[in-house]
Amino acid sequence: MKLLTATFFATACALAVSPAVAQNWVTLLKNTPAESFDDEDLRLFLDTARKVLDGGAPENQPVTWENPKSHNRGEITLLRDFESKGRSCKEVRVRNESRGRKSDNRRILCRVDERWRLVSESQLKGK
pLDDT confidence bin for 125, thresholds 50/70/90: confident
Higher model confidence: residue 10 or residue 30?
Answer: 30
Backbone Cα Rg of the chain = 14
Q: How far apart are the first and last CA of the chain?
A: 38
Q: How far is CA 117 from CA 1, 4, 48, 72, 112, in A?
A: 26, 22, 16, 26, 6
CA 62 to CA 35: how far, in whole Å? 22
Query: How far is CA 24 from each of CA 29, 55, 70, 72, 100, rounded to the nearest angstrom?
Result: 9, 24, 27, 23, 24
Task: Give 58-89 pLDDT, tens digit per residue.
Answer: 999 999 999 999 999 999 999 999 999 999 99
- pLDDT computed for residue 61 by the predictor: 97
pTM for this structure?
0.76
DSSP 87-120: EEEEEEEEEEEETTEEEEEEEEEEEETTEEEEE-
Contacts of 75 (CB under 8 A, 6+ apart): 48, 62, 63, 64, 65, 94, 95
Least Cα distance to 28 among 16, 38, 39, 40 occurs for 16
